[in-house]
Amino acid sequence: MFRSEHHQALSAAVGVGLRHPHYQDALSETAGVDFVEVHSENFFAPAGATRDFIRAVSERYPISLHGTSLGLGSAEPINTDYIQRLKNLTDDIRPFAISDHASFSWSRLNGRRLHAGDLLPLPFIEEAVNIMAENIDRVQQILGQQLLLENLVSYIQFKQSPMSEMEFLTKVAEQSGCALLLDINNLLVNAHNQKADDPLQTAKQWIDELPIDLVKEFHLAGYTPVAPGQLIIDDHSQAVNEECWALFDYALDHFSPQTTLIEWDNQLPDWQRLQQEAERARRHILQHVQRQNISGGGSHGLPTSVTA
Amino acid sequence: MGCQHLSLREWQHNLTTDIFQKYDVDDANPLAIYQNNLLMTATRSLSISYPVMAKMIGHDVMIPLASRLLKQELPETGDWADWGEELALLIHESELNEQLPMLADMARFEWLIHLAGRRAEVPFCSASLELLSLYELDELTVTLSPSVEVFRSHYPISKLWALHQPDVPDYSPAPEQIIKELENGTPQYLAIAQFRGRPAQEPLDQSEHEAMTELIFGKSIGHLIDDQTTKFNFIQWLPKAIQNGWITEITHTHSTSIQNGE
């Protein structure tokens, strides 16, 4: 069994992504945020200012470690040194959640080892399921903690896939024992980029494909609008848009409330604006609870920070 | 795009090769998105590792530098902070070197500051001082801290670097300040190490710089003292080295480390 008790306790908590411009704000103003998510690789240095900082943060907030470089779908082996650095960090700050993406990163170029430095997409085929499940199992065994696997925005469309993205994620989770981190915004970006007639409806159908007990966290984000016909880039540069809030409501009804993160990485607003976004997410969760109570669906046992 | 006839490994190699090495990709091609992502991430990473360089030459010049560096030095570890070591060499061989000949040295200096800020700080093992009275100095050497590096330049790099502080994105010194430093500056010898959780730099004299370089290669204390070509004063240097966190212990060359007990 992997450590997961902290994650259970934070079910339905709302946090924000903590990025460099807000480091001092986060240490001085802790109200309004139930947890923070940081990018793992930014704190890999075993010593120095960044490690001191993340230790200080861990004394004030539960931390979710979100990676961008594990490359869990890589056919080339994941670099052992990378996993050891992640383990060193997790042993140090004891995050309640560790997540990364359903992507690949490790490869070779002209015979030399390469990390692609991006979240590269995978075809939804059995071979990719098996490779990703094996990689996740290896990392979970080393870390001693369950991973959360996030659905990806893909700018490449595969001509033929023997399974859908949701089938793919479900198979990987069932085979590896990981849970899923459902990025609500990524579903919508993919639906738009695939030219769905009704992107919101299409994203809802994708949600319906997922077993309700696999999803343990939601990501909410916004993107820069583009002209018709252009691909939307998942740039996390805007407030969560209304379409994303609507799909969040749908996901809450489908999966029940889960740990929820406001992701904002570029063109960052001030810390207070981020807290306002977190507050809005809480309101949506409360509205869900009210809907459940009216329809006799029962309570979800929300944590104090959400119900207060 | 399909991969029915390729193994997943082959397909992944092909995609990464296209991202890194396929040029003149049409903007409408999704590959261009991944190529642009890569370039922007690499540029941002360089600007974080080389903050003063980024101020001196500006974001618009950092982009082509990042692009060239990606062709020369591949990211390998999954941590962008590890990438960029070869920037100084790239600049030295570029047209920038003619216009701003101190720039390559600034890059070298900033990389050492970057490394020192990320490496472990190991306290000095004071018990190892006892070895100085037990053995001949020819049999003893000094183990340097994992974070320590030595640096030298014909330019006043440290002073130019200091001019670009405070560490706020838009702050730049007046050009005449830079010119004044360059005109009045003298060659610099520095030790750079992590000290109390932060990268720190201390001036050295030429003999100390040479001695620390020799220590990196394992030269004995006795050899350093006997070397008639330098004016290195070990007795004066030792307390300074301990105080600045440059050394971790005195070591007997043929026996076990006191600190590690190995």
Q: What is the pLDDT of residue A308?
A: 28
Q: How far is C-alpha A76 from the geometric centre of its chain's CA atoms?
A: 23
User: Per the CB < 8 Å rule, is B194 touching A48?
Assistant: yes
- Are residues B96 and B22 both part of a single domain? yes
Q: What is the pLDDT of residue A11?
A: 67
Q: Are B48 and B60 in contact (CB under 8 A)?
A: no
Establish if B109 belongs to a structural domain.
Answer: no
The tens digit of pLDDT for each residue in A34-43 reads 999 999 999 9
Establish if B229 belongs to a structural domain.
Answer: yes
Chain B residues touching residue A233 (CB < 8 angstroms): 33
Residue bearing the bigger pLDDT, A21 or A159: A21
- Are residues B64 and B192 both part of a single domain? no
Lowest mean pLDDT, pick from A19-23, A290-294, B129-133:
A290-294
**How far is A289 from chain B, CA to nearest CA, in Å?**
40
Question: Where in the sequence is the domain holding B220, given as residue range(s)?
Answer: 122-262
- Are residues B128 and B157 both part of a single domain? yes
Q: What is the pLDDT of residue B187?
A: 80
Residue type, B229: T
Structure-block tokens of residue A129? 């399921």
User: Per the CB < 8 Å rule, is B3 touching A107?
Assistant: no
Which domains does chain A carry? 5-307 (3.20.20.150)
**How far is A239 from chain B, CA to nearest CA, in Å?**
21
CB neighbour list of residue A63: distance below 8 Å, 6 or more residues apart: A35, A36, A37, A38, A54, A57, A93, A94, A95, A96
Cis upstream peptide for B166 (omega within 30°): yes
Of A46, A79, A131, the CB nearest to B78: A79
pLDDT at B126 over 90: yes
- Are residues B128 and B72 both part of a single domain? no
Establish if B114 belongs to a structural domain.
Answer: no
How many domains are there within chain B? 2
Establish if B256 belongs to a structural domain.
Answer: yes
- Are residues B129 and B225 both part of a single domain? yes
Q: How many CB pairs under 8 A join A and B?
A: 130
The tens digit of pLDDT for each residue in B31-82 reads 999 999 999 999 999 999 999 999 889 989 999 999 999 999 999 999 999 9
Query: What would the 3-class secondary structure string for A118-131 be?
Result: EEECCCCCHHHHHH
The tens digit of pLDDT for each residue in B206-249 reads 999 999 999 888 899 998 888 767 788 999 999 999 999 999 99
Chain B residues touching residue A125 (CB < 8 angstroms): 3, 8
Q: What is the pLDDT of residue A105?
A: 98
Of A110-114, A216-220, B97-101, B254-258, the range with the highest mean pLDDT is A216-220
User: Per the CB < 8 Å rule, is A118 touching B120?
Assistant: no
Structure-block tokens of residue A49? 């200012």
Lowest mean pLDDT, pick from A177-191, A265-279, B70-84, B151-165:
B151-165
The tens digit of pLDDT for each residue in B155-214 reads 999 988 888 886 655 667 777 777 777 777 778 899 999 998 889 999 999 999 999 999
pLDDT at A246 over 60: yes
- Are residues B155 and B259 both part of a single domain? yes
- Are residues B93 and B50 both part of a single domain? yes
> How many CB atoms sit inside 10 A of residue B39's CB?
16
User: Per the CB < 8 Å rule, is A47 touching B120?
Assistant: yes
Q: Which residue of A has its CA nearest to B197?
A: A48
Q: Which residue of A has its CA nearest to B35?
A: A118
Which of B101, B136, B156 is at the close of a domain?
Answer: B101
Establish if B71 belongs to a structural domain.
Answer: yes
> How many CB atoms sit inside 10 A of residue A280's CB?
17
Average pLDDT over residues A159-186: 95
Chain B residues touching residue A85 (CB < 8 angstroms): 79
Establish if B116 belongs to a structural domain.
Answer: no
Average pLDDT over residues A236-254: 97
- Are residues B34 and B135 both part of a single domain? no
Establish if B174 belongs to a structural domain.
Answer: yes
Lowest mean pLDDT, pick from A222-226, B146-150, B165-169:
B165-169
Cα separation, A49 vs B243, whole angstroms: 20
Average pLDDT of chain B to the nearest whole number: 89
pLDDT at A5 over 50: no
Give how far Cα A18 sits from Cα of A26, A237, A242, A264, A296, Å: 8, 14, 23, 9, 37
Chain A residues touching residue B67 (CB < 8 angstroms): none
Q: What is the pLDDT of residue B11?
A: 94
- Are residues B73 and B167 both part of a single domain? no
- Are residues B47 and B139 both part of a single domain? no
Structure-block tokens of residue B182? 């360059």
Q: Are A41 and A68 in contact (CB under 8 A)?
A: yes
Q: Are B111 and B84 in contact (CB under 8 A)?
A: yes
User: Per the CB < 8 Å rule, is B197 touching A45?
Assistant: no
What's the DSSP call for residue B170?
A: T
Q: What is the pLDDT of residue B262?
A: 42
User: Per the CB < 8 Å rule, is A131 touching B8?
Assistant: yes
Average pLDDT over residues A47-69: 95
- Are residues B161 and B198 both part of a single domain? yes
Establish if B132 belongs to a structural domain.
Answer: yes
The ipTM of this complex is: 0.91
Place of tokens 């397909």: B11
| Three-state DSSP class for residue A78 | coil
